A and B are shown apart, each in its own frame.
Chain A
């Protein structure tokens, strides 16, 4: 392809300048896109929250903040859960709330210790449902080896909330010397996922009952701390881990590419996706790469240790379906590239908002 002409280059430079401008929220009100985990969420977080709270611990925008108290290195995180429906195949808002926070700590390299639980309940919400949710939180906490040690309850008028919202925060301790962070990814590194992707998101879409599609699918919600401990015990070349929640694997890979100023090259054939997820995604016109998981993580690891890391993941029941899906290269910086199963290549961008079913 020929080099761009002067005029074309001018246009490209202008776009580049606009791209580097500080994020700005254009909307006058919050829209659902601001909660999707895509570009709109990033803009909101950077332009409003980061702008106001800016400090060195927050700035990397990792899943948890890590800091030292006395002699001890700690990780701290929080997450809110508003899933609808509250109960779905494979789990409910309760185990999701525990696993989500446990996983944010785990992928930061911390051993989760204690959780908090905050409930916002709508007037009229069934006590039986509440008990079910709380018991499932108790069981999930037990499975993950953490305790819920403090909490809060608020009740709002009927119509001011949708049944039950849960917030959890968690603290964990860092017991190893790995310097983890997506910005540390280097050319030559390998990219792994810990299992088939997209199951939670597709399960939720089907559980809403709007699609008249039935599939034998369950949410993948699970605590990843055991898997992470095994991985970090087996190899010392782990650069970063992220649990692929909102925005899915594609969003995580974009975060890696941007933070480390590298390119991520992914092979579509290597990405584990169950047929049920693939089928539903094909019907809806969405891409599993953008669909949320609640018990899967993306791992960036020194390329020389990729096989050892993969073996460590596969030896754990939650990592049986782990796979190497790609690698880090130096150019073009900031991009995620996909070698499609069909044999072509394309760029995998961040979505603006939620993946929307297509009519065309």
Chain B
């Protein structure tokens, strides 16, 4: 298949892997964070870690947009959806993210009408078809999906739709990266920058990372060879003593981002003073809300939202796991209060999260899996 297979060539992967290995300094451990959940998925899906030497470790970052939504916001969404006149729409993978009393599927079993859509524009279609129903779009995601929500609000305003609003949970990536960088016990050697987010915001926003924190960043694409190539670029920078932002995903990511998309966001949304992230706590200026001028399309203003904060249990140490300070099993609630069936933190919510993966398969070392899969 074109545009896919050429980025999954095992032979090229072996060549890159050898080059990466040759750049490793003996005795040194390398930890790179892939910021984006999409990267984590690629790494997992293709078994990419098999191409990395033992002393390079990938740390899964905070960039899974559904996993970072805290329980309180899920509860608020369900509260809105419980109104008899409301039909809520949501992206598919949000459906399974737990609130304090269950997820959207559980809520539907109790009578709410939360439907899966593939684009916020589908919600507009539903709103037009059901003029007597309040259609609320559960807006989530980083800068990747924010523009489409903004465009949808603009479209709704243009059409004068009165039964459409968004429950805005859009988050921004830079403050989350900064929160991790500010951690006193940071043990990361570099970052794979989020490719999709960067198609919108460009590469400039990462320039503070090499400048102020002396860590290299390579904005990476989502095919497995993209990720290997980006790791190689990070290793070259470390070897050459350079520390800068590089753009591996230049076939898609413009250095200055997408001006039209950024303008749409700026027209409709503004930064919240602070927002809670599951497992990471409150981070200032880390999320968007609908501007006053579009208040009619803001579900938080249209409907009363309790906004009760559901505290992460004190012992949840997601932040430490995300920062690569703790291994999943070292967290105090791992495997007891926090399991894949009853997840507390981000790392347990997504099946690819570090904790969920360890819970399910930690008993098998990678080596044992690799040996078994190559045995005859």
Binding site for B on A (CB under 8 A): 1, 7-8, 11-12, 14-16, 18, 26-27, 29-33, 210-211, 263, 265, 275, 278-279, 282, 285, 287, 327, 329, 331-332, 335, 337-347, 349, 352-353, 356-360
B109:A278 contact, CB within 8 angstroms: no
Q: Nearest Cβ distance between residue B294 and chain A, in whole angstroms?
A: 22
Contacting chain A: which of B19-27, B72-80, B239-247, B356-364?
A: B356-364
A331:B92 contact, CB within 8 angstroms: no
Contacting chain A: which of B266-274, B280-288, B333-341?
A: B333-341
CB-defined contacts of B46 to chain A, threshold 8 Å? 340-342, 344, 346
A32:B105 contact, CB within 8 angstroms: yes
Considering only residues 42-64 of chain B, those with a C-beta below 8 Å from chain A are: 44-51, 54, 63-64
CB-defined contacts of A338 to chain B, threshold 8 Å? 47, 373
B376:A344 contact, CB within 8 angstroms: no
B369:A337 contact, CB within 8 angstroms: yes
Whether, in the assembled complex, B162 has its beta carbon less than 8 Å from a beta carbon of chain A, the answer is no
B47:A344 contact, CB within 8 angstroms: yes
Task: Pick 29 A–B contacts, CB within 8 A, sort by A.
Answer: A11-B329, A15-B335, A15-B359, A15-B363, A16-B363, A18-B335, A27-B102, A29-B109, A282-B4, A331-B368, A335-B369, A337-B372, A340-B45, A340-B47, A342-B224, A343-B47, A344-B47, A344-B48, A345-B370, A346-B44, A346-B46, A347-B361, A349-B360, A356-B96, A358-B93, A359-B92, A359-B93, A360-B36, A360-B63
Also in contact, A342 and B366, with CB within 8 A (given A210-B118, A356-B95, A359-B91): no
B364:A347 contact, CB within 8 angstroms: yes
CB-defined contacts of A11 to chain B, threshold 8 Å? 329, 334-335
- Which residue of B36, B45, B368 contacts A346 across the interface (Cβ within 8 Å)? B45
Q: Which of A33, A210, A275, A359 has the most CB of B within 10 A?
A: A359
Q: Nearest Cβ distance between residue B90 and chain A, in whole angstroms?
A: 10
The 7 lowest CB-CB distance pairs between A and B, nearest first, are: A344-B47, A343-B10, A356-B92, A29-B109, A342-B46, A357-B92, A344-B50
Look across to chain B and name the residue whose beta carbon is closest to the beta carbon of A342: B46
- Which residue of B44, B65, B102 contacts A359 across the interface (Cβ within 8 Å)? B65
Extra contacts, 20 of them, besides A15-B363, A345-B47, A359-B66 (Cβ < 8 A), are: A8-B327, A11-B334, A12-B329, A12-B362, A15-B362, A29-B110, A265-B375, A278-B4, A331-B372, A337-B372, A340-B45, A346-B44, A346-B369, A349-B351, A352-B351, A357-B118, A359-B65, A359-B141, A360-B37, A360-B144
- Which residue of A26, A265, A357 contacts B93 across the interface (Cβ within 8 Å)? A357
CB-defined contacts of B48 to chain A, threshold 8 Å? 342, 344
CB-defined contacts of B293 to chain A, threshold 8 Å? none
B372:A32 contact, CB within 8 angstroms: no
CB-defined contacts of B13 to chain A, threshold 8 Å? 342-343
- Which residue of A27, A29, A352, A358 contacts B41 across the interface (Cβ within 8 Å)? A358
Considering only residues 3-31 of chain B, those with a C-beta below 8 Å from chain A are: 4, 8, 10, 13-14
CB-defined contacts of A1 to chain B, threshold 8 Å? 54, 365-367
- Which residue of B8, B94, B341, B364 contacts A335 across the interface (Cβ within 8 Å)? B364
CB-defined contacts of B65 to chain A, threshold 8 Å? 359-360
CB-defined contacts of A337 to chain B, threshold 8 Å? 369, 372-373
State which size class the interface on B falls in: 35 or more
CB-defined contacts of B364 to chain A, threshold 8 Å? 332, 335, 347
CB-defined contacts of B373 to chain A, threshold 8 Å? 265, 337-339, 345
CB-defined contacts of B118 to chain A, threshold 8 Å? 210-211, 357
Look across to chain B and name the residue whose beta carbon is closest to the beta carbon of A27: B106
CB-defined contacts of B45 to chain A, threshold 8 Å? 287, 340, 346
Whether, in the assembled complex, B1 has its beta carbon less than 8 Å from a beta carbon of chain A, the answer is yes
Q: Nearest Cβ distance between residue B351 and chain A, in whole angstroms?
A: 7
Whether, in the assembled complex, B210 has its beta carbon less than 8 Å from a beta carbon of chain A, the answer is no
C-alpha spacing A31/B105, complex, angstroms: 6
CB-defined contacts of B1 to chain A, threshold 8 Å? 275, 278-279, 282
C-alpha spacing A338/B50, complex, angstroms: 12
CB-defined contacts of A278 to chain B, threshold 8 Å? 1, 4
CB-defined contacts of B342 to chain A, threshold 8 Å? 26
Look across to chain B and name the residue whose beta carbon is closest to the beta carbon of A352: B96
Q: Nearest Cβ distance between residue B323 and chain A, in whole angstroms?
A: 19
Look across to chain B and name the residue whose beta carbon is closest to the beta carbon of A13: B363
Q: Nearest Cβ distance between residue B339 and chain A, in whole angstroms?
A: 7
A353:B92 contact, CB within 8 angstroms: no
Mask, B226-242, CB within 8 Å of A = 1, is 00000000000000000
C-alpha spacing A349/B362, complex, angstroms: 13
Q: Nearest Cβ distance between residue A235 and chain B, in whole angstroms?
A: 21
A8:B47 contact, CB within 8 angstroms: no
C-alpha spacing A61/B54, complex, angstroms: 42
